[in-house]
C-alpha cells in the first residue's frame, strides 16, 4: 500500500507540474504601439525611439511581434486602436494618447478584451482603463522652470506661459508652475494659453501676448519647439524687454544654445527625453513575455539643464 500510495502521489505531482507548465511558460506577445504622428520634433523623437524599440526587441525576442500605428489626431488614433484589437489581435498595448479624455474610452474598450495596457506620458482621465503608466516627471517639468524664472527675476516681474495640449500631464505641469509662483506674490502670471506643443501655434500665441502686454519679463514655453516659435515672434516684434525664454524637454538645438551661450535669454532647460517610449515598450514587452506586470506607475526624473551639465544632455544624432 505504501508503494502504491507513493506512486499515486508522484503521479499527482507530475500531473500538477504539467498543468502548471503552460501558465509559467512565456506566451507569444503581440504588442501594439499607438503614438501620435511626427507633427513636431518631440514627436519625431517619439516615432524614432518607438521604431528603434521594435527593431531591437523583435531581434532579441522571437516570441514578440510589435505593430506601430501613428495618428494625426484623436479620432484617427481611436480608430487605429479598434483595428489593433480586432484585426491585428494584440494582447498588449503601449499607447501615447493624442488627448487624454478622447482616448480614455477607446483604451478602456481594448483593455476590456483582456489586453494589457501601458499608457505613456499623456495619462487617461480614468486610470482603471490602464494597467501601467510610464512618464517623465511632469511635476518637476513645471516646478523647475518656475523656480528658475522666479530666482532669475529676483522674485518680481511679469510672466506669460504657453501650455501644450489639454491633457493630464499638461495640467500637472501647469499646476506645479502655479504652485511655485504662489510663493512669489510680486510675480504676475499675465496669461497661459494652449499652443499645442507646436512652433507655429506658439508663434501666433506669442504674437497675441506681445500685442496685449507692453511689458513681459519672462516666457515659459513648456516645450522647446514652442520656444522656437516664441523667439521668432519676439524677433519679428523687435521686443527687447523679455529677459528669459524657458522651453522644455532638452531638444538638441536648445541644449546646444545653452552650451554655446549664444542667447542670453536661454541659459537653462528641463529634461524630458522622448526615449521614454523606448523604455515603456521594452518594459512592457519583456514583462509580458515573462507573464509579469509592471508597477502601476514608473516616473523618469526631469532635471534642470544648465551650462554646467548641458553636455550630458546633448545628443547631436538624435532627431530631437
Does the structure show a pLDDT above 80 at 3?
A: no
pLDDT at 193: 98
Higher pLDDT, 227 or 317: 227
pLDDT at 17 over 60: no
- Contact between 305 and 313 under an 8 Å Cβ cutoff? The reply is yes
Q: Determine the pLDDT at residue 167.
A: 87
Q: Which residue has the higher pLDDT, 168 or 73?
A: 73
Average pLDDT of the segment spanning 276-293: 96
Q: What is the mean pLDDT of residues 133-160?
A: 97
Report how far residue 227's alpha carbon sits from residue 268's, in angstroms, rounded to the nearest whole number: 12
Is residue 312 predicted with pLDDT exceeding 50?
yes
Q: Which helix (H) or strand (E) holds 130?
A: none
DSSP 173-193: HHHHHHHHHTT-TTEEEEEEE
Share of the chain above pLDDT 70, in %: 92
Q: Distance (Å, rounded) from C-alpha 186 to C-alpha 99?
A: 34
Whole-angstrom distance, CA of residue 128 vs CA of residue 14:
39
Alpha helices in the chain (DSSP H): 2-24, 41-60, 74-86, 100-112, 138-152, 168-181, 199-212, 224-237, 252-260, 276-289
Supply the mean pLDDT for the chain: 91
Is the pLDDT at 316 greater than 90? The verdict is: no
Instruction: Compute the distance between CA of residue 280 and CA of residue 297 in angstroms, rounded to an integer.
Output: 11
pLDDT exceeds cutoff 90 at 179: yes
Cα distance between residue 248 and residue 234, in whole Å:
18
Q: Percent of the chain at pLDDT above 90?
A: 83
Give me the mean pLDDT over the 208-223 stretch.
97
Residue (of 217, 154, 146) closest to 180 by Cα position:
146
In the prediction, which pLDDT does 114 show? 96
Q: How confident is the model at residue 302 (pLDDT cuts 50, 70, 90)?
A: very high
Q: Return the pLDDT at 2.
A: 39
Mean pLDDT of 256-279: 94
Which positions ≥6 away from 62 have C-beta within 8 Å?
A: none
pLDDT at 16: 36
pLDDT band of residue 275 (cuts 50, 70, 90) is confident
Amino acid at each position: 500500500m505504501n508503494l502504491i500510495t507513493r506512486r499515486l502521489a508522484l503521479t499527482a505531482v507530475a500531473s500538477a507540474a504539467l498543468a502548471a507548465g503552460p501558465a509559467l511558460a512565456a506566451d507569444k506577445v503581440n504588442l501594439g504601439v499607438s503614438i501620435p504622428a511626427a507633427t513636431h520634433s518631440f514627436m519625431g523623437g517619439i516615432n524614432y525611439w518607438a521604431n528603434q524599440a521594435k527593431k531591437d526587441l523583435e531581434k532579441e525576442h522571437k516570441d514578440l511581434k510589435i505593430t506601430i500605428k501613428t495618428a494625426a489626431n484623436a479620432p484617427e488614433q481611436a480608430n487605429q486602436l479598434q483595428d489593433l484589437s480586432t484585426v491585428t489581435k494584440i494582447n498588449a498595448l503601449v499607447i501615447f494618447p493624442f488627448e487624454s479624455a478622447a482616448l480614455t474610452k477607446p483604451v478602456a474598450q481594448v483593455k476590456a478584451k483582456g489586453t494589457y495596457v501601458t499608457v505613456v506620458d499623456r495619462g487617461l482621465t480614468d486610470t482603471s482603463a490602464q494597467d501601467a503608466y510610464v512618464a517623465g516627471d511632469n511635476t518637476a517639468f513645471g516646478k523647475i522652470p518656475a523656480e528658475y524664472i522666479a530666482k532669475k527675476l529676483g522674485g518680481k516681474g511679469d510672466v506669460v506661459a504657453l501650455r501644450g495640449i489639454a491633457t493630464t500631464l499638461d495640467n500637472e505641469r501647469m499646476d506645479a508652475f502655479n504652485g511655485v509662483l504662489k510663493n512669489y506674490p510680486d510675480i504676475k502670471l499675465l496669461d497661459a494659453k494652449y499652443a499645442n506643443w507646436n512652433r507655429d501655434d506658439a508663434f501666433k500665441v506669442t504674437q497675441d501676448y506681445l500685442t496685449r502686454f507692453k511689458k513681459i519679463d519672462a516666457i515659459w514655453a513648456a516645450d522647446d519647439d514652442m520656444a522656437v516659435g516664441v523667439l521668432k515672434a519676439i524677433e519679428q516684434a523687435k521686443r527687447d524687454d523679455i529677459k528669459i525664454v524657458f522651453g522644455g524637454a532638452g531638444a538638441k538645438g536648445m541644449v546646444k544654445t545653452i552650451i554655446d551661450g549664444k542667447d542670453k535669454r536661454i541659459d537653462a532647460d528641463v529634461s524630458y527625453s522622448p526615449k521614454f517610449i523606448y523604455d515603456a515598450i521594452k518594459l512592457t514587452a519583456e514583462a509580458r513575455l515573462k507573464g509579469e506586470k509592471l508597477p502601476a506607475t514608473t516616473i523618469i526624473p526631469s532635471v534642470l539643464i544648465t551650462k554646467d551639465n548641458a553636455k550630458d544632455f546633448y545628443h547631436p544624432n538624435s532627431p530631437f
